[in-house]
Amino acid sequence: MSDHVAKTQPVLTLPPNMMPSSATSKKHPCSSLSVTYISRRKLAEVVDGLLGVMTLSTRKQPYVHSGCDISSDKVSGNNTWLKKCPSALASFDQIIARTQGKKIALFLDYDGTLSPIVNDPEKAFMSPEMRTAVKNVARFCPTAIVSGRSRDKVFDFVKLKELYYAGSHGMDIMVTCADSESITKDNKEAKLFQPANEFLQIISEVNKSLVEATRSIKGAIVENNKFCVSVHYRNVDKKDWKLVTELVDGVLKAFPRLKVTTGRKVLEVRPVIDWDKGKAVEFLLQALGLDDPESVLPIYIGDDRTDEDAFKVFRERNCGFGILVSQVPKETEAFYSLTGPSEVMEFLNSLVRWKEQS
């Protein structure tokens, strides 16, 4: 799945109605974006606000699906949340009923979904049990990983050739034209789609600048994800969060064609094009011949703000549904919820058992 192999492969193109364009608007053509596009002068203000929100969130108790003793107030809050976004495990029979004989197309985020959130992004390893669960479900359902990580990096974590991979928030997509049984062959035909290809040099330059600018901030990590750069401040002292944003802001003044989005204690520097995980999923469905809502039910499982773009596409088109991975109630476009990677694995295993029995 490395680029030195892919360079000799054909490049996929989009039909005109899906072509990405430079974004001057903050609206996705299909739906309003859930990801926050932040102007440079407001970036520090947003992270100041996140300080308060995240401080409060650390006091929240995880919601539970079953089996825990909690206060009546918490039970009431959990019940309200679960009515809006019920457990995908408790609702498994209902979910299966929605397939009505359709093929399931499965889309999975990586960090926080297949692997736990960790302090060192280079050590976000998935468990062998999770890898087995993903490998097994891919036998029955076309399965894609859609991650903010670079495509090569997320493949190195997952190590499954029978999947499809979309890295850099969907700006670097590889699909194979072989069926799932022959995907592991060395002579498989792979095709790339990279709508932000013209930004490679700019991303490389801004990455170097951000590394240099944040060098003095203890705990700051700059990660080059090929078509985007992630500035992690999870390990930075809270008193220095504002300084991190000011430094990022200062660097980006020289790069007007780049924008910033926020994630879970991370600032994402990305090209200003009209492309996100929602569009990437639409593209994959079309490229793989799975865009017929009468015969295919797409399911997307993810935990971060960038995943909301895919959730929203499914909700507004009424062609599938999202499953939010979260330990606390959140505003979301997802239909169902899971509390963490362990429940994601349980859900995937449930899909496998259902497929084997049917």
Q: Tell me the pLDDT tens digit for each residue of 188-210.
A: 567 899 999 999 999 999 999 99
Backbone angles phi, psi at 201, to 5 degrees: -65, -40
- pLDDT band of 36, cuts 50, 70, 90: very low
Confidence of residue 279 (pLDDT cuts 50, 70, 90): very high
Average pLDDT over residues 52-76: 40
Span 270-283, mean pLDDT? 95
Nearest Cα neighbor of 86 from 339, 293, 298, 308 is 339
Question: What is the CA angle 159-163-168, rounded to 5?
Answer: 80
**Does residue 183 have a pLDDT over 50?**
no
Q: What percent of the chain has pLDDT over 90?
A: 67
State residue 80's pLDDT score. 79
Which domains, from first to last, does the chain contain? Answer: 80-195+275-357 (3.40.50.1000), 198-271 (3.30.70.1020)
Backbone angles phi, psi at 154, to 5 degrees: -70, -30
Q: Indicate the burial class of 211 (C-beta count within 10 angstroms; 0-12, 13-18, 19 or more).
A: middle
172 is catalytic: no
Q: pLDDT > 70: what percent of the chain? A: 75
pTM of the model: 0.78
Angle 312-317-318 from CA coordinates, rounded to 5°? 95
| 312: confidence class by pLDDT, cuts 50, 70, 90 | very high
Catalytic one of 109, 111, 172, 307: 109
Q: Please enumerate in sequence order all residues whose Cβ is within 8 A of that of 43, keeping only pairs 6 or more positions apart, or say none.
A: 245, 248, 249, 260, 267
